[in-house]
Each structure stands twice: as structure tokens, then as C-alpha cells.
Amino acid sequence: MPARRSNTSRLRLHHLLVAPFASLLLVFFGVPLALVVVVSFFDLDQFDIIPTFVLTNYVELFGSSLTYTLYANTIKYAVIVWAITLVIGFTVSYFLVFHVRPFLLQLALFLLCTVPFWTSNVIRMISWIPFLGRNGIFNQSLIALGIVDQPLEFLLFSDFAVVIAYVHLFSLFMIAPIFNSMARIDPAVIEAAVDAGAGRFRVIREIVVPLSKTGIAMGSIFVVALVMGDFFVVKIMSGGQSASVVLAMSNETAVLQYPPAAASAVVLLLVVTAMVVGILRIVDVRRELAG
Amino acid sequence: MAQSGEIELCHLTKRFDRTVAVDAIDLAIPHGSYCCLLGPSGCGKTTILRMIAGHETPTEGDVRIGGESVVGLPPVRRGTAMMFQNYALFPHLTVLDNVAFNLKMRGVGKAERHQRAREMLAQVRLDQFADRMPSQLSGGQQQRVALSRALITNPRVLLLDEPLSALDEFLRLQMRGELRRMQKELGITFVHVTHTQLEAIAVADMVVVMDQGRIEQAGSAREIYTLPVSAYVARFMGGQNVLTGKVASVTDGIATLVSDTGERFSSPLNGQVVAEGDVLHCCVRRDRVALERVRRPPGALPEPTNAVVGAVHAIEYQGTYVKVTIDVPGREQFVANVVDSKFFANPVDIGDPVVARWVPEDVHLLTTSGQAGETHG
């Protein structure tokens, strides 16, 4: 009997231990999310929100071709940025883990990657404007060097600028998890592959990539979710010439169109969830983390 | 298999920054022999193995396999295969793909390489585990997978880095027999790195005892064990008691040595020329020492000849014999391995004063002191 009692009391203790975090999650994540879902079914009459249950918001959302254009645009950004950050993240991690010898130097260089993050997102992004602008540093340098005679127009307020800013902002979210999983590869395993006759690229393909899968998956989730949820970078860096799902949503809330915005948010949440599930389907992160 | 797996190390040296890991080593390992590199950790044995394998570049000197220099060649072009300490199996591949990996790198098609990997696994009785992941296998099974992976390309030299150290005692004994049997069957050269003396002398045709980047002695297991050349080897192999003394007189090629504490030992000189007053080391096997209990305390006895006097420090029963450790005042501990029947016919107890005697014929002269600079053919 005493054994059972201690068991139940231990169980109660476990509940007690997770309670603070669980309540935090409930109050600041669960409740607002539920509220968004509820509001997405409300009706809207001019600027009056009518608490009822209608599907108008969803019908209008799926009926509008703008929705599909916005998703196509946002997913395009997500895919391009994901591909570029993946290449950067993998290359930087590979270099740090396998080519930088003293561990302290490795750590120092890794921390160097985080230096840009010591300033705010907004400043980091806005600092691209004087650099890439029509009369910016980059264009002026090109002209001074005689490479072009007209300033390049596509550098700022374009898809190019948006992608540059995303890559700059989100690369670390790819580097950190890949670095982490790469650093855990036993060097003897790589040596065994070399012993078996694998050249450098075979080693990368057969050993390093498969054993970095967890990090690649985690980084991909971060980058995809961040790009899908962004509106600020698109707004500033495209100069209003491009839009994303969330930018449209933010415009709607700006004019107090809450129910359609809420419906849009619910759909985006489902799309991003589907993308994350898709990534996790390819890589079983939980199993790899446990192993 | 036409290629010879004879290995020659010529003046092989490896320095890391300032430390010398391997110091100008010369060694020839005949084709088809089982060679053990034996020494304490940090003596350079693994570095030698890695230089033979091509995972480490020599600072100076040459590595020749089958008569040709292989320095600078990648591991595959050397005809060597390495079995790593802790096996280094690919954790993301099945057992079958682990074994087939070498063939995949050589461009062998999937069907053929899987076929050959299955045959290889059948040889080590692991065919039913082909689809498991390495982490699902026991240590002994993982070791056999590593062995199969290394042997699938028919190397002329197999390099084993502490292959048995991760196994428990029972498996270790079983696997070392297995390794020896495989080496005989395949007829290729095995180079096996270990820090365990009994493992080395049990499997090897040729034992190379190392210390601080240098070879102390290379020879057959029996030579190393019964005829060590230096006090270091005699102590390291563990079967000997090392005796040190100054030459007092020489008659008929037998020197009489006097130790610091006054004991007198006879030692055959085997033709070596010595002068009175020279310090010599010799050794006597632990199992050639007879024990006798004495009534008086050790200090009250006359200085013994071909014997030491002391008090029993420890008694360990080993099954066929009893290991008796004796504290002898003023010198290192002396060990007598007494056959169990003899011991129990006349047992001693801890603290008993005893005389340990031997006959001069069992004394072996150590020809080098084991210090740097001294070499002896």
C-alpha cells in the first residue's frame, strides 16, 4: 500500500511540475488561438462584428483568386529562402565542424555567426536599404568600377531584396541546428568511410548528410515557419510591390476586418502545420533526437 | 590476394607539435603473420597503425606494404582495411548496408553487393540480423559486423585498433580465438593494437612491445615472455621478477651480482663481457620461484644467495597456481607463482616471513636497460 501511495503522490508531483508551463501555454497560446478560430466564424457587416456562426469568411477566402496568388508568392519565398539557407547552413556547419581544429576556435567562429543577431531585426533589415538602393553603396561601387554604367534597379524593392533580407535574417536558424547535429558525428565513422574508399563528396553524401538529417529538418522547420509568418520584410524590402499571406492579413486587421483576417490566420496555420508535418514525415526528428 | 601483405616500417617518425609520438621505428612484419603492437596507452602503437592505414601522415620515414611505399596513398589504394576501436559502424545504415558499404564505394551494383554482404554475414553467423540497425546489436555482434565490413574487400592487411577492449571478459576470450582462426584461414597479415599482455601473447606470431614511441622488443610471444631484453619488457609482460645488482665476480661465464640490500644473485652472461662493478639487470620467472616459510624474522637471517627474504604481502588464488606477493625490504615487490598442489601442501599466510629461492639456471640476463640510446641486437 505505501508503494502505491508514493506512486500517486509522485504522479501528482509531476503534474505540479508541468503546471506552470502548461498554464502559461494555455493562457497565452491556447486561449488566443481558440479566440481566433471562434472569430473566424463571425459575420461582418461594414465595421460591425456580429457574433454568430457563418462560413462566409472561408467561402470568400477560398473564392478569391488573390488568396492563391498570395500563397503562391509566400511559398515561392519560403522555398527559395529555404534552399539558400540550407546551402549556407550546411556549408558553414561543415566547415566549422570538420575544418576548424581547436574546439575553442570552432566555438568562437560559431558565436561570430550570431553577432548580427545582437541588433534588432528591423535595424538589420533596414540597413540593407542604403546598401542596395538606386544610389546605394553597391550600385555606386559597381559604377565606379566600370562594371555597369546604369544603377541596377532590381537590387532594392524587389523579390531579390526580399530574399536577401530573409536569408540574412534566418540563416542562423539553419546553421545552429545543423551545426549541432554535425558536431555529434563520431569522427571515427567518417574515417571508417574514408577507409572504405569514400572520397570527400561520397563521405558528405553517404555519411554527413544522413547523420545531419535531424538538424536539417529542424532548421527547415524554423526557416519555413518564419518566412510563412512574415509580413514586415516583404512590406519594407519589396517597397509595396509584393505581398505575403500575413501582409494581407495585417492590412485587413488595420481596417478592422477581424473575421476575414481570423479565417485567413486559421488557414495559414493549417498550411504551415501541414508543411511541418511533411518535413517530420521525411525525417523522424523525435527518433533521431532520442538516438 | 596475390599481393603480399608484408609490412616494412623504415625509420618511421610521427611528431605532433613538439611531442614525438613515434620515434624512428624500424620494423618488418612478414606476410601472413599475426602481429600485435603492445604497450601502455600513449606509447604510439595506435599512431603506427593509423600511419599504416593511411589515416595519419608520417613526419619522417617510410611505410612499405608488399615492397612498395604507400606514403601519400589513400587507404583504398593500400589494400588495407581497418577495424576501429568501438567499431565506428555507420549508425544510419542497416547491418547489411554497413557490410556492403565498401563495395558500394567501389561501384559494385546493389544486388551483387548485398549478395556478397549476406555471404560475409553468414560466415560470422549474423545473417539473421542483416536488416537490424547497429544500435540494436550487442557489443560482440557489432564487433563481428565491423570485422565483416573490413574483410569484404579481401584486403591484404587487416589493421585492428583495440578490437577486443569494448567486450566483456568472456566474449573477449572467445573473440580473440576467433580472430586468430580467421587470420589463419585468410592467410593475410593482421596488425592488432592492444594494451593487454595476455591478449597479445595468446594470438600473435609476433609481439612488438613499445614504450614512449620506441620499440623495446619485437619477437615471438614466447621470446617476449620468457626472454625479455630489458627490465621494461620483463616488468611490462608481468611474468618475471627483475633483479638488479653490481658485478662482484665472474667465473665460467656466470656473474655473481650483489644487490644494494646485500643479496647475492648468479646470472649467466651469455657471452657478454662485463667488468667488476658494472650494474646488471636480470630476471627470474615467477613460476620458477620456490617459497619456504622461515621461523625467524627476515632481518635475523644471513644474506641469502639466489633468494630473497621478505614477508608475504598478498595471496591470490588463480586456479592452477597461487600468486604470492612478497614485501622485500629495500626493493620492489617480489612475486612467486606457486603451483596449487605445492602451495596447499605447505601453505603460507599474509605476514609470514618467507624465503623465495630459485636456481641460477632460471635466471635470464637483461641485455639492455631499456633506456633511450641503448640498443642491442
**3-class DSSP assignment, residue B149:** helix
Please tell me whether residues B198 and B156 are part of one structural domain.
yes
Residue A267 to residue A61: CA distance in whole angstroms: 9
Tell me how close the Cα of B88 comes to any Cα of chain A, in angstroms. 5
Cα-only R_g, chain B: 25
Q: Are residues B263 and B205 in the same domain?
A: no
Sequence spans of domains, chain A: 1-35, 66-290
Nearest CA in chain B to A186: B88
pLDDT of residue B188: 93
Best residue of B105, B154, B159, B160 to probe chain A, by most A CBs closer than 10 Å: B105
- Domain end, chosen from B207, B226, B245, is at B226
- Asked whether residue B373 is domain-assigned, the answer is no
Residue contact A196–B91, C-beta within 8 A: no
pLDDT in tens, chain B (377 residues): 447 889 999 999 999 988 899 999 999 999 999 999 999 988 999 999 999 999 999 999 999 999 999 999 998 899 999 999 889 999 999 999 999 999 999 999 999 999 999 999 998 889 899 999 999 999 889 999 999 999 999 999 999 999 998 888 888 998 899 999 999 999 999 999 999 998 999 999 999 999 999 999 999 999 999 999 999 999 999 889 999 889 988 888 888 998 888 888 888 888 788 888 888 899 999 999 999 888 766 555 566 788 888 899 999 999 999 999 999 887 788 999 999 999 998 889 998 889 999 998 899 999 865 443 333 33
Q: Which residues of A touch B (CB under 8 A)?
A: 186, 188-189, 191-198, 202, 206-207, 210-211, 213, 291
The count of domains in chain B is 2
Q: What is the DSSP letter of A27?
A: I
Domain around B276: 231-293+304-366
pLDDT at position B297, please? 61
- ipTM value, please give it: 0.81
Q: Which residues of A touch B74 (CB under 8 A)?
A: 194, 197
Look up cell 596449487; give the residue: B340
| CATH homologous superfamily for the domain A66-290 | MetI-like (1.10.3720.10)
Residue pair B376/B367 in contact (Cβ under 8 Å)? The answer is yes
The pLDDT value given to residue A291: 46
Whether residue B299 is contained in a domain is answered as no
At residue B223, the pLDDT reads: 92
B82 interfaces chain A, CB cutoff of 8 Å? yes
Residues B194 and B311 in one domain: no
What pLDDT is recorded for position B11? 94
Does residue B48 fall inside a structural domain? yes
Residues of chain A with pLDDT under 70: 1-7, 286-291
Same domain? For B189 and B250 the reply is no
Question: Under a CB-based contact definition with an 8 Å cutoff, are residues A220 and A280 in contact?
Answer: no
Q: Distance from A201 to chain B by nearest Cα, in Å?
A: 11
Nearest chain A CA: its distance from B238 CA (Å): 33
Residue B289 is assigned to a structural domain of this protein:
yes
Give the nearest partner residue to B88 out of A191, A197, A210, using CB atoms. Answer: A191
pLDDT at A113: 86
Are residue B215 and residue B266 in the same domain, yes or no? no
The answer to the question of residue B278 being in a domain is: yes
The SS3 call for residue B271 is coil
A206: chain B residues, CB-CB within 8 Å:
90, 101, 104
Q: What is the pLDDT of residue A7?
A: 67
Residue holding cell 560559431?
A110
CA of B104, closest CA in chain A: separation in Å? 9
The DSSP string of A73-89 is HHHHHHHHHHHHHHHHH
Of the residues A195, A211, A214, the best mutation for testing chain B's interface (the one with the most B CB atoms within 10 Å of its CB) is A195
Nearest CA among A68, A27, A60 for reference residue A257: A60
Domain identity same for B42 and B178: yes
Q: Is A79 helix (H, G, I), strand (E, B) or coil?
A: helix
CATH number for position B72? 3.40.50.300
pLDDT, position A1? 44
Clarify whether residues B249 and B146 are in a common domain.
no
| Residue B375 maps to a domain | no
CATH code of residue B362: 2.40.50.100
Q: Domain check: are B214 and B66 in the same one?
A: yes
Residues 6+ apart with CB under 8 A from B255: B247, B248, B249, B266, B267, B268, B269, B274, B280
Note whether residue B21 is domain-resident: yes
Is residue B240 domain-resident?
yes
